[in-house]
Amino acid sequence: MYKVFVNDIPIILSTEKEIGNNYKSIPLKKAKLKRIIKKMINGELIYVNLYHKKEEKLLKFLKKKLPVIVAGGGLVYNPKKEILFIYRNGKWDLPKGKIEKGEDIQTCAVREVEEETGVTGIEIKKFITKTYHVFKRNGKYRLKETYWYEMYTEFDGPLVPQENEGIKKVKWKDFQKTQEALEKSYNNIKLLFPAAYLTKHPNDRIA
């Protein structure tokens, strides 16, 4: 199963015809993807499941219908187990950016984190997952495929937001501050975090 986010709402691509009563299920061969995206952006459609019995057909369909932009990014920890966030477009996000010609994806991910935050000395620990979201550029829908890595650094110098990329702030956040940031983040970013970060303790809800 894949989740492809459109305005923070996922299109589900799965091998199952029925995934829930709320979902409009459409066989892959009958799916008009750009029309579906437009309806989701206009608020006319929310729960969509595109299905095919062969899982390998799902991503092939998606990448055939939309130009793909490949990007890399990082979920970066420091020795205090704080996580590195950027603030852009009114949301807390993680540093990421598109790959350059001739660059491998891990190099891209580290470079983008360094450029967007001013942090150096980054070590990749492991691959986490890929996320997908649809955006519009020059009047055309495109698919961003982002490779995410867990990273570590002992950097303790000043954080420098890359202002020409619209980044307003860069912050290290502890467990509680990370939970708060994720409430003002994107749903595809939440897919990268362990469940503990997404489940607030009952006492936290007391006014």
- For the chain, the structural domain boundaries read 2-65, 71-205
End-to-end CA distance of the chain: 38
pTM score > 0.85 for this model? yes
Q: Give the per-residue pLDDT at 57.
A: 94
Surface-to-core class of residue 44, CB atoms within 10 Å of its CB (0-12 exposed, 13-18 middle, 19+ buried): exposed
Query: How do residues 64-87 score in pLDDT, each as one tens digit?
Result: 999 999 999 999 999 999 999 999
d(CA 14, CA 109): 28
Count other Cβ atoms within 10 Å, centred on residue 42.
9
Average pLDDT over residues 153-174: 97
The CATH fold assigned to 71-205 is: Nucleoside Triphosphate Pyrophosphohydrolase (3.90.79)
pLDDT confidence of residue 200: 63
Report d(CA 195, CA 182) in Å as an integer.
Answer: 12
